[in-house]
Amino acid sequence: MDIWLLILGMLAITFITRYSLFAFPDLRFPPLIRQGLHYVPTAVLTAIVVPGMLIPDGQSWALNWNNAYLLAGLAAIAIAALTRHLLATIGGGLLVFFLLRWAFGQLPI
C-alpha cells in the first residue's frame, strides 16, 4: 500500500509541475531564472556521463591510459568542439570507444 501511495504522490507532483505551465500561460520567468535554466541540460548530461567515464566499474577511479571510457569521452568532446555536429560526435565517440576496447583486448568474443 505504501508503494502505491508513493507512486500516486509522484504522479501528482509531476502532473502539477508540468500542467502549471499550461494552466498559467501568462507565467513568465524572470531573466535570471531563464538564464539559469539554459544551463540545466548541459549540467544534467555532465552529471550522468562523467562518473561513467571516470569510475567505469563503479568502485574506483580509473585515470589511466587503458580506460576506454575516458579516452572515448575525451575524443567525443574533441569531435564535438571541432565539428559541432551531434551525429558525428556520437558516431565518432562510439567508434573510438569500440576501437579502444578492441585494442585493449576488452571486447568479449
pLDDT in tens, 10-47: 999 999 988 887 888 887 889 999 999 999 999 999 99
50 and 69 share one domain: no
Residue-number span of the structural domain to which 72 is assigned: 56-108
12 and 2 share one domain: yes
25 and 69 share one domain: no
Q: Are 93 and 72 in contact (CB under 8 A)?
A: yes
Per-residue confidence (pLDDT) for residue 20, from 0 to 100: 81
Q: Does residue 67 surpass a pLDDT of 70? A: yes
Burial of 70 (0-12, 13-18, 19+ CB in 10 A): buried
42 and 61 share one domain: no
Per-residue confidence (pLDDT) for residue 87, from 0 to 100: 97
Per-residue confidence (pLDDT) for residue 109, from 0 to 100: 53
- The mean per-residue pLDDT over the stretch 62-66 comes to 92
47 and 1 share one domain: yes
**Is 0.75 surpassed by the pTM of this model?**
no
